A and B are shown apart, each in its own frame.
Chain A
Amino acid sequence: MFGPLNVKPLESKGDKTGSWRTQLRPHYLHKNCIACRMCLMICPEGCVHGKEKNAFWADYNFCKGCGVCADICPKKDIAMVAEESKGEDK
């Protein structure tokens, strides 16, 4: 290993922090979403994706289950459900 420990962003895949979730995961109901994008903006992981109404989703590979997206949704269209339950698997 010669040289400093420099890393190019594309070389780095990140840790699969979704494994941190033990209790809750966000379940996107896709009923009353107005595509305000607040969930996407506020996620500390930046793992919420979406563009159109009722088409936002969290990447469970990275989601830590903090619940801030559910808290900020003005239409209460995100429910925090128990981690074991079958929700969207996207």
Chain B
Amino acid sequence: MKEFVEGSHAIAQIIQACKPGVISAYPITPQTHIVEDLAQIVANGELKAQFVNVESEHSAASVVLGASATGVRVYTATSSQGLFYMQEVVFNIAGMRLPVVMTCANRAISAPINIWNDQQDSISLRDAGWVQIYAEDNQEAVDFHLIAYRLAEDKRVMLPVMVCMDGFILTHGMETLDLPEQDKVNKFLPNYNPLYKLDPAEPISMGLLADPDYYMEARYAIQETMKSSLGYLSEISSEFNAVFGRDYKDLLVEEYQTKDAEKVIVAMGSVCGTIKEVVDEQRAKGKKVGLLRIITYRPFPYARVYEALKDVSRIAVLDKAVSLGAYAPIAVEMKAAFYGKKKGPKVISSFVGGLGGRDITLESIHEVFRRLTAKEVNSDFIDLKPELLKEEYGK
């Protein structure tokens, strides 16, 4: 059913269709509309769920942890500082192998405090053991939540999944979307049937102390499951296509005109829409450019990336996050994908843009292609304002 809706509202609708039993979230811009809409849906009696208004994100994540451990499908959403506040619970949920699904409305990290979009928040939690999928537009944001529950609750996986959507750009952007009907959702997403749960009928202890004799295997198990999930995502994508008629291929990357490209930008999220326009513009002028969009960031699809770009001579990685003191996060993965391999780009240049919501315009992307020369650059910040850089403290 097609509707012209705000992204957040669409997310609330799809979560409603997924029928979680417990929802708990703490408000933080720009996630607020999602949880407000869900609160209204529950208040209207349109969703039979327990909506727990907590006093912090740490507790929001803990509430969904407890509810998921009790064998119920759950949902939470957060951004930026909220994600950081719940960080230890996020790692805990993955370690306890609970299929929690969370929306991260990507937003910049303090300090300085900034409520606009970049991807620093979710990228900073890349080690947590959560599957991370990044949406380019709101249709994907909606669809990826369905896929997230399906993947998380798969008995071969039992890992939490974070669906990342750029704050304000997607959460507050309005698009015409195909909102899946309940019967199709029911077809694609069966009821949650927990592998283990807290139940007096069959008591178990969860969250035990694991000394050096046991800890490593538990972590290794997650690593192996992550690797296998690369394949499961393809499976689930086919199932999704069969029910909804939208083909996300392997759900790992999107190759946009990369086949014979000489210069390719690698990026994640909504900025890819802008990049596609520039690619089209430049292609019309005969320039051989392309875009490789990373859809699944964790587990990182090294093999797929290699396969897509091994014949491209120059790659520009455009990160919307920065690893202060080192190379930018996605750039590092890209370099790892090609190091020591027979084929690969001669140049993998790393650019950082869009931090704190600074607009990445068509001109910005043209500039990136211009700066993608034979000389490799690392963490080259684009669209900086030189007059601000000239200011000195205390003068």
Please give the residue numbers on chain A whose beta carbons come within 8 Å of chain B beta carbons, in ascending order: 1-9
Contact = CB atoms under 8 A, between A and B. Distances in A.
Contacts of B207: 4-5
A6 B208 CA distance: 7
B203 A6 contact: no
B204 interface: yes
B210 A6 contact: no
18 contacts: A1-B221, A3-B158, A3-B196, A3-B221, A4-B96, A4-B97, A4-B98, A4-B206, A4-B207, A5-B218, A6-B204, A7-B204, A7-B205, A8-B202, A8-B204, A9-B203, A9-B204, A9-B205
B210 A5 contact: yes
B221 A6 contact: no
Contacts of A6: 196, 204-206, 208
Interface of B: 95-98, 158, 195-196, 202-208, 210, 214, 217-218, 220-221, 225
A15 to B, nearest CB: 13
Contacts of A3: 97, 158, 195-196, 221
A7 B203 CA distance: 9
A9 B98 CA distance: 20
A9 B200 CA distance: 12
Contacts of B203: 8-9
B196 A4 contact: yes
A2 B218 CA distance: 7
Contacts of A7: 204-205, 208
Nearest to B214: A5
Given A3-B195, A6-B208, 6 more contacts: A1-B217, A4-B98, A4-B196, A4-B207, A4-B218, A6-B206
A88 B241 CA distance: 73
B158 A5 contact: no
Contacts of B221: 1-3
A33 to B, nearest CB: 33
Nearest to A4: B97
A5 B221 CA distance: 11
A76 B97 CA distance: 51
Nearest to B97: A4
Which of A2, A3, A4, A9 lies at the interface centre, i.e. has the most chain B CB atoms within 10 A of its CB? A4
A2 B214 CA distance: 12
A1 B205 CA distance: 17
Contact of B95 (A1, A2, A4, A8): A4
A2 B205 CA distance: 16
Contacts of B95: 4
Q: Which 3 A-B pairs have the closest CB atoms?
A: A4-B97, A1-B217, A4-B96
Contacts of B96: 4
Nearest to A8: B204
A1 B210 CA distance: 13
A43 to B, nearest CB: 22
Contacts of A4: 95-98, 196, 206-207, 218
Contacts of B195: 3
Contacts of B214: 5
A1 B223 CA distance: 12
B214 to A, nearest CB: 7
A4 B221 CA distance: 9
A14 to B, nearest CB: 12
A10 to B, nearest CB: 9
B218 A1 contact: yes
B193 to A, nearest CB: 15
Nearest to B209: A5
Contacts of B97: 3-4
Nearest to B94: A4
A8 B199 CA distance: 11
A40 B222 CA distance: 44
Contacts of B202: 8
A6 B207 CA distance: 7
Nearest to A7: B205
Contacts of B98: 4
A2 B208 contact: no
Nearest to B205: A7
Nearest to B195: A3
B68 to A, nearest CB: 12
A9 B96 CA distance: 18
Nearest to B206: A6
Contacts of B158: 3
A4 B129 CA distance: 13
